[in-house]
A and B are shown apart, each in its own frame.
Chain A
Amino acid sequence: MTLTFEDFPPGHFGQFGPRRVTREEMLAFAAEFDPQPMHLDEEAASRSMLKGLSGSGWYLCSIMMRMMFDGYIGRTASMGSPGVNELRWLAPLRPDDDLMLDVEVAEARISRSRPETGIVTFKGVVRNAAGQALCEMVSPIIVRRRATPEQAG
């Protein structure tokens, strides 16, 4: 069954994962989108502020998107997102870790400009296998409302 706006009341929504992050995938992303030495080179990374090889923050965001898709967005009447209110990278992503995603609905309201849709603001936290928070994001998505009898006609 497709999830609609009504399925996202404020409060805890769910936990998703684990998602394995391999060294190979992490390095391939960095080589294509974020080729800074701290994301590509063990030796340079060990001398960086993060003290060891770390994944690009944009890789972590992309993995979080995939975890949201696999967890619920793939079966939600999602119409896309206007943006991200805030995103914080809290600790470095290391290779060969297993990530978990916790999702909370921070706010859900009906759209004024498109009343057949609602705006659901999610707060997502990604943690590593040790339970350390790596990344926290607050972002709205646009979700279709369940068709009412008059709309369905």
Chain B
Amino acid sequence: MRFFEDIEIGQRRELGSFTFTAELIKKFAGQFDPQPFHLDEEAGRKSLFGGLAASGWHVGSVCMKLLVADGQRQAREAAARGEKIATWGPSPGFRELRWLKPVLAGDTISFQSEVESLRTSEKRPEWGILQARNTGTNQRGELVFSILATAFVPRRSAGA
């Protein structure tokens, strides 16, 4: 992952893609969100979604999964260049999460992340605060998921 000082507003990263199979949709829903339209094809077809649809929390969790994988890729690249590796902090929350279109069984969603704002933390001078718009797009190019996420990012100068 990168340090606060290396990040600029407008930077965009492609995070990779994920295929939501019926099996994965039902497994997540069975554990966390067992509404009929997330568990059963026929109930899904009769719902507003028009088919077996992934829980919105499943979609958000997969976005997190790909964000972490992308961060690990960047960390490996930094290590290969002999640079110091930045470990990201936790998130205080998010706003404007939109489940814009259903994610149906068989859909492949590619995720993107674009930096929207950066500020330093007054309470925690060793951390910066980043806001990024993370989005998911299906195989037809339709935007299905969008979230304005916040995270603590370490500052390069901190305690060095």
Residues of chain A lying within 8 A (CB to CB) of residue B98: 82-83
Contact of B91 among A48, A57, A83 (CB under 8 A): A57
A49 and B152: CB pair below 8 A?
yes
Stretch in B8-16, B82-90, B105-113, B131-139 touching the partner = B82-90
What sequence of 0s and 1s flags, for each residue 37-67 of chain A, a beta carbon within 8 Å of any chain B beta carbon?
1100000000011100010111001110110
Q: How far is the CA of A82 from the CA of B60 in the complex (A)?
A: 13
Size of the A side of the interface (Cβ < 8 Å), in residues, is: 37
Nearest-neighbour CB distance to chain B for A99, whole angstroms, equals 13
**Cβ of B122 under 8 Å from chain A:** no
Size of the B side of the interface (Cβ < 8 Å), in residues, is: 36
Using a CB-CB cutoff of 8 Å, which residues 72-104 of chain A contact chain B? 73-74, 78-89, 92
A86 and B95: CB pair below 8 A?
yes
**A to B contact number (C-beta, < 8 Å):** 96
A65 and B90: CB pair below 8 A?
no
**Cβ of B157 under 8 Å from chain A:** no
Q: How far is the CA of A89 from the CA of B90 in the complex (A)?
A: 9
A57 and B33: CB pair below 8 A?
no
Of A37, A48, A58, A79, the most chain B CB neighbours within 10 A belong to: A58
Residues of chain A lying within 8 A (CB to CB) of residue B94: 84, 86-87
B90 and A81: CB pair below 8 A?
no
A49 and B89: CB pair below 8 A?
yes
Q: How far is the CA of A89 from the CA of B149 in the complex (A)?
A: 12
**Cβ of B6 under 8 Å from chain A:** no
